[in-house]
Amino acid sequence: MLQITDLRKRFGDKVALDGVGFTVRPGEMFGFVGANGAGKTTTMRIAMGVLRADSGSVTWQNAPVGPGERRRFGYMPEERGLYQKMRVAEQIEYFGRLHGLSQSRAATATAELLERLSLTERRGDAVEALSLGNQQRVQLAVALVHDPEVLILDEPFSGLDPIAVDALAGVLQERRAGGVPVVFSSHQLDLVERLCDAVGIISAGRMVASGAVAELRSAGNNLLRVVVRGAVPGWADGLPGTLTTEGDASVLVTGHRDDQEILRRAVNAGRLEHFGVERPSLTEIFKEATA
Ligand SMILES: Nc1ncnc2c1ncn2[C@@H]1O[C@H](COP(=O)(O)OP(=O)(O)OP(=O)(O)O)[C@@H](O)[C@H]1O
């Protein structure tokens, strides 16, 4: 189990982390979410030894994580770390060798990853000639080439098209199925909800919620969702919640208790298409936890 406990970190007067902790079990995919500047990258850098915490600990299999353990971790840093002029296959092999693989194992692992990530045809191209999405695939291959015991990925999905998202997600799911704990940060909450077993929500350097996605959803306040087509303008004036427009439908999502009044108003406003209580989405839980 990867265990991060009570991390604290200041940069001058700025408190970046104020007691951050979470655990990720083997075979668990953990989504680390939070607003810009909340402390995700700082936490991951500390876990990978790129930064030192002022206090707190990072353990793997109950032992403190040091340089030896980190060599067996796979890491995708926020700043990305590829040599732009180096060719794709050469680069992945190089990082494999850095992590202690023999030349032949590095070559075999590289060929497999190139195939798996649909990069075989680009194997001889310089990284700088690749699109952002393909560079990100190479970055993932670099993080995976030594068959890591733990994966820590800083925004691996940012800027990717849906096909590339699926390709990366598929590879991460395979590693998870092989018993690897996977931690990744993301602002794409729908993706986190879809992929992750557990999430941690960080706000201003503190964990404000964490746990299994299903548990967080069932612990949250249920919301009433009302969809009215062709609704007269202003039909929901004065009602709490959020009102959005989807095509010609007006959608109200509210935690308001007086559902009879809302029902009356919705029926009078237009064609009532949906009226039901739903569990909050991860986005709604996030908004509430970080408000
Ligand atoms: N080297 C540094 N020097 C000074 N302040 C820093 C440094 N690194 C991070 N910080 C500050 O620490 C806080 C946490 O930053 P961090 O990069 O960890 O956030 P984040 O959650 O990863 O944000 P984002 O979603 O924007 O990537 C921010 O206020 C940031 O400005």
pLDDT confidence of 153, banded at 50, 70, 90?
A: very high
pLDDT confidence of 61, banded at 50, 70, 90?
A: very high
Residue with tokens 């004065």: 238
Could you tell me the distance, in angstroms and rounded to a whole number, from the CA of residue 38 to the centre of ligand 1?
Answer: 7
DSSP letter for each residue of 24-58: E-TT-EEEEEE-TTSSHHHHHHHHTTSS--SEEEE
How many CB atoms sit inside 10 A of residue 87's CB? 17
> What per-residue confidence (pLDDT) applies to 208?
93
> What per-residue confidence (pLDDT) applies to 259?
85
Could you tell me the distance, in angstroms and rounded to a whole number, from the CA of residue 142 to the centre of ligand 1?
Answer: 24
Which residue's CA is the nearest one to ligand 1's atom 17?
41
Instruction: Inform me whether the pLDDT recorded for 279 exceeds 90.
Output: no
Could you tell me the distance, in angstroms and rounded to a whole number, from the CA of residue 45 to the centre of ligand 1?
Answer: 11
CA distance 4 to 108: 33
| CB 14 near ligand 1, within 6 Å | yes
Residue 179, phi-psi category: left (phi > 0), alpha (psi -120 to 50), beta (remainder): left
- CB neighbour class for 172 (10 Å; exposed up to 12, middle 13-18, buried from 19): buried
Which residue's CA is the nearest one to ligand 1's atom 25?
36
Could you tell me the distance, in angstroms and rounded to a whole number, from the CA of residue 51 to the centre of ligand 1?
Answer: 12
Residue 5: beta bridge partners?
A: 57
At 137 the three-state DSSP class reads: helix
As for the ipTM of the complex, it is: 0.96
Structural domains present in the chain: 2-215 (3.40.50.300), 220-290 (3.30.70)
CA distance 279 to 277: 7
User: What's the whole-number average pLDDT of the chain?
Assistant: 92
Task: Give yes or no for a contact between 37 and 31, defined as CB atoms under 8 angstroms apart.
Answer: no
| CB 36 near ligand 1, within 6 Å | yes
In this predicted model, what pLDDT tens digit does every residue of 87-136 receive, in sequence order?
999 999 999 999 999 999 999 999 999 999 999 999 999 999 999 889 99
Among 82, 195, 199, 196, smallest CA distance to 143 is for 82
CA distance 250 to 244: 6
CA distance 88 to 130: 9
Closest atom of ligand 1 to CA, residue 78: 27
> What per-residue confidence (pLDDT) applies to 88?
97
In this predicted model, what pLDDT tens digit does every residue of 163-199 receive, in sequence order?
889 989 999 999 999 999 999 999 999 999 999 999 9
Phi, psi of 105 (to 5 degrees): -65, -40
| CB 186 near ligand 1, within 6 Å | no
Could you tell me the distance, in angstroms and rounded to a whole number, from the CA of residue 82 to the centre of ligand 1?
Answer: 22
> What per-residue confidence (pLDDT) applies to 226?
94
- Please report, rounded to a whole number, the percentage of residues in the chain having pLDDT higher than 70: 100
Closest atom of ligand 1 to CA, residue 38: 21
Who's near 208: CB < 8 A, 6+ residues apart? 201, 202, 289, 290
| CB 79 near ligand 1, within 6 Å | no
Task: Kindly report whether the global pTM for this prediction surpasses the value 0.90.
Answer: no
Pocket test for ligand 1, best of 41, 43, 48, 202 (most atoms within 8 A of CB): 41
| CB 39 near ligand 1, within 6 Å | yes
